[in-house]
Amino acid sequence: MNQTQTSKASISYKSVVAALAACLVVFTSGAIAQQKLGDLVTEGGFDWIVGAWTATTDEGDKIDLAYKWELDKHMLSVHLKWPNYEYRGMIFYVPAEDKVIQVGVDNRGGNGKGIWQAEGNKAVHKYEHTDADGQTNKMGMVHSRVNDDTMKVEVYEISSNGELGQSPAITTEYKRQKEQAPPKAQSKAGEAMKSISEQEAETRKIAEFKVVR
């Protein structure tokens, strides 16, 4: 009778250990799958792309481009703007597909979707844009770091098999914009002292006033 109970206890213990091991495998796999965009960007060495950039076209138009971290680095927001055009998008990682996706819309009723890939030290964005009339246009944008304050973006046509063209149709150099420090808030004490000084000055002016007959 005792032998039977010992055997059952042993089987129960082994089952619990096996279940715990299975849970650890599941939890570990889940942690790997939940890797966020910020981790991928850092591992790939593309942190430099984050920030505000500006460029000027051959026609003299200013282009503003900004990448900003959101949601604890699970997403990069994108803001592109030049005269009469504005685009906003977001970049995020889809673990189930192991892809970095970008989606966005513009102020002309257009929208689009694309993927980001690393090719050496360059970040390649293959994007398909659909305008308000339903016309689609595919392009590839290759981002490369020239130095700490300069980024080069080359725009390529994309063939039917998804490959970039032989040479870029447009090449633009962007300059990094330095973050502006927020204006210093004047303390209430400072404002009070300034107010008192102004009142004293007015009092002196009144005291020095003379009536001429």
pLDDT, tens digit, 9 for 90 and up, residues 15-57:
544 544 444 333 333 334 468 999 999 999 999 999 999 999 9
DSSP label of 88: E
**48 is a domain residue:** yes
Residue 75 lies in a domain: yes
Taking CA atoms, 135 is separated from 129, 144, 165, in Å, by 8, 29, 21
Share of the chain above pLDDT 90, in %: 64
- C-alpha dihedral sign at 198, 201, 207, 209: negative
58 shares its domain with 158:
yes
Q: Say whether pTM exceeds 0.85.
A: no
20 and 90 co-located in one domain: no
Domain count of the chain? 2
**Closest to 171 in 3D by CA, of 147, 126, 149, 141:** 141
d(CA 59, CA 57): 5
Domain residue limits at 12:
1-34
Mean pLDDT of 151-165: 93
Over residues 94-102, mean pLDDT: 96
- 93: pLDDT strictly greater than 90: yes
User: 60 and 153: one domain?
Assistant: yes
Per DSSP, the three-state class of 169 is: coil
| Higher pLDDT among residues 18 and 131, named by residue | 131
Kindly state whether residues 26 and 65 are assigned to the same domain.
no
Specify whether 23 is located in the same domain as 94.
no
One-character DSSP codes across 93-140:
EETTTTEEEEEEEETTS-EEEEEEEEETTEEEEEEEEE-TTS-EEEEE
Report which of 164, 165, 106, 171 is spatially closest to residue 143, judged by C-alpha positions. 171
Average pLDDT in the chain = 81
Would 190 be classed as within a structural domain?
Answer: no
- Whether 101 and 164 map to the same domain: the answer is yes
